[in-house]
Amino acid sequence: MKKFLFLSVSALLLAACGSKPKTAEVVEPKLCDAFPDYTVGVAINVNQSNQKDAEGVAIIKQHFNSIVAENCMKCEEIHPEENTYFWDDADRFVEFGEDNNMQIIGHCLIWHSQCAPWFFVDDKGKQVKPEELKQRMKDHITTVMTRYKGRITGYDVVNEAILDDGSYRPSLFYQILGEEFIPWAFQCAMEADPDAELYYNDYSMAQPGKRAGVVELVKKLKARGIRIDAVGLQSHMGMDHPSWEEFEASIKAFIGAGVDVQFTEVDMSALPSVNFGANVSDTEEYRAELNPYAEALPDSVSAVWNERMTTFLGIVDKYAKNVRRVTAWGVTDADSWKNDWPIKGRSDYPLWFDRKGQMKPFLVDRMKKKGLM
């Protein structure tokens, strides 16, 4: 507001001085300028990276300095058959980031979900042998990272491999290779692009069991001289989770283990929680009472939601010197996966811009505090 006032007065003064006022260019404040200590990112879908969603693209370009591909770099999308890669969407995504001078994040190289089925089946239709699976992981990681070498800042090398109790998810990677699949993935990534940052990424990271499991994983990698630069706390939150005390304990534990932290998939469901996790395959049946704000979010709920998001950012800022990035998992509420997960067909309000593309109050307040509005 102050900036706008300044420009109007200048124009009047110029006019008063008899010279033709130059049309003062009104500089729109940028959200990322309110986060000087770390990058502020957003997950973008193919309609945005392919420039079809003009409104979404305008918000991304105006407010964010980092992007991550919501889906187009996942194994099933980019490497659908053993000898077939589909690069178009990932290329558009990377070019979008380069054209807009943004930090570009690769999500994700090794994940139990959305992994192309061929990955685990040999040419005789049997389960692939350990050595063959290691070779396939190496080929996938090396091919993707080589194509985008020097263009992608960092990768979620392994995603969601530890359960809430700290044990290893019994994925096919784990069943075939045991714990070794994780060091192997990071080793392959280190060799493929020595300059790329390498992350372990997971949800429900405020769970004490998962915290302990991830700390142990980080320490094991480091003890073997395998580089891991940061741990990603996805931060899929709700009105009743996570406990801020546990959330902060996890941040401190990961930093204490010798890695930075980043908040990689931030959203906060405004709806009744039925699932505190983010495991894509955990879904529930639709029940009207679980979709209470089908038309709009009541102001009273919105006020609590914005307060919780302010608390979240307050905790993040406390550890800013070890925070690399905060990324919203989508542009506007309409884009969010939470409208259809864990229950299809709900209206949720989890992101930083509403369905009209308006920035939400917790961010407007932050920008005003920083003198940007």
Residues lying near ligand G3I in the complex (CB under 6 A) are found at 70-71, 74, 114, 159, 203, 234, 265, 278, 280, 337
Q: How far is CA 102 from the centre of its chain?
A: 14
* Min dist. Cβ of residue 203 to ligand G3I (A): 6
265 is catalytic: yes
Least CB distance to ligand G3I at residue 89 (A):
9
Nearer to ligand G3I, 134 or 199 (CB): 199
- Residue 86 φ then ψ, to 5°: -115, 105
Smallest gap from residue 32 Cβ to ligand G3I (A): 22
Q: Which two tokens stand for residue 14?
A: 């110029």
Is 160 one of the catalytic residues?
A: yes
d(CA 154, CA 199): 7
The one catalytic residue among 160, 191, 245, 307:
160
Of the two residues 73 and 102, which places its CB atom closer to ligand G3I in the complex? 73
Q: Report the candidate in 267, 259, 291 with the shortest Cα–Cα distance to residue 351.
A: 267
Q: Write down the least CB distance from residue 3 to ligand G3I, Å.
A: 35
Of 77, 179, 191, 265, which residue is the catalytic one? 265
- Other Cβ atoms within 10 Å of 278 Cβ, number: 20
Nearest CA-CA partner of 307 in 351, 353, 357, 361:
361
Give the nearer residue to ligand G3I in terms of CB position, either 213 or 342: 342
Q: Concatenated DSSP letters for 80-143? A: -BTTB---HHHHHHHHHHHHTT-EEEEEEEEESSS--GGGGB-TTSSBPPHHHHHHHHHHHHHH
Nearer to ligand G3I, 270 or 278 (CB): 278
Asked if residue 316 lies in contact with residue 326, where contact means CB atoms within 8 angstroms, the answer is yes
- Whole-number minimum distance, CB 45 to ligand G3I, in Å? 7
Strand pairing category for 260-268 and 39-44: unpaired
Number of Cα atoms under 13 Å in the Cβ half of residue 40:
20
Nearer to ligand G3I, 143 or 283 (CB): 283
Report the catalytic residues: 160, 265
